[in-house]
Amino acid sequence: MGNSPYLCNVIKTVQKADVNTKIAEQFLGEGLRIADRATISVNNFVEAERLSVWVSVEDMPDDKGTLYLYPIDDNSYCLHLCYLEYSEDADGPAAVYQIRFLPDFFKQYPESVLSANQPFRFDRTTEQQFSVCAQARTLLRQLEQEVKTSPFVQSLHRSDAAMGLLRRALECIAAPFTTCQVPACRFLVYEGEREKIVAAMQIIQDNIDRTHTIKELSRLVAMNECYLKKGFKALAGKTIHEYQQGLRIARAKVLLQQEGMSVTDVANTLGYSSISHFSTAFKRQTGLKPCELLA
């Protein structure tokens, strides 16, 4: 006996959730914990979802954007955009936005128009990372925003945001070195800009027991996030994440070897969310388990 229409819809919903979860795991890595998920209604050709996920901030970059293209048939595609945004609360869940452009969306465009652009030149699944700029963040806010008007205008509003996100991602992929609009860190010729980078370093040094996001640091030193990321890497020779980890692990070595603190106490002192996160970060940096350095 066939399934009822209701049951078929339930099965499709579960299958769609499973697919989106698999893509989120591909995006962030296996083992992520989904705290909550919310569907964002766009239109019949574009689907969107916001996941609240628990991830190890210590092991993730400051932000993350990835485009996945899945060829379905000749000149037929399904495209996923994934974005990671951290909570302003370092201990809170991160947000993963998934925007899915269905095959019928691309039927609006001639084959020649699509094949002339990356990543549609390939006949296989492709994965390409891109910069998450301030414009993309604004569009993500627009995608979620509730417009107090008719449902149709709401759909148009969100459709505009989804199209803008796709356009911005493709622009970043086509020109990965110019998307940030910061030419070769020339702004560092100004002493005031260098002082802001140094101030960010000092904040991290003075508070190594907590994780600092790029968004938080940029506010504290009054500097554009993109400038801060590029300038920090130029002056420190490391990303903000790498710099924080280096300081924390160096301090952990002292606490373990010279002060004889337990692994649990060191992890708590340095603000790691769990002993396993601390152990993973420590081994990645030193090649050793924390317990191997105990006095």
| Domains parsed from the chain with CATH numbers | 5-174 (no CATH), 185-293 (1.10.10.60)
pLDDT classification of 166: cutoffs 50, 70, 90: very high
DSSP state of 13: H
pLDDT tens track for 85-115: 876 554 567 788 999 999 999 999 988 888 8
Q: How confident is the model at residue 43 (pLDDT cuts 50, 70, 90)?
A: very high
Q: Is the dihedral of CA 164, 169, 171, 172 positive or negative?
A: positive
Tens of pLDDT, residues 236-250 = 888 888 888 888 888
Pick the residue with more confidence: 114 or 63?
Answer: 114
Tell me the whole-structure pTM to 2 decimals.
0.56
**CB contact set of 287 (below 8 Å; sequence gap of 6+):** none
Bridge partner residues of 206 (DSSP): none
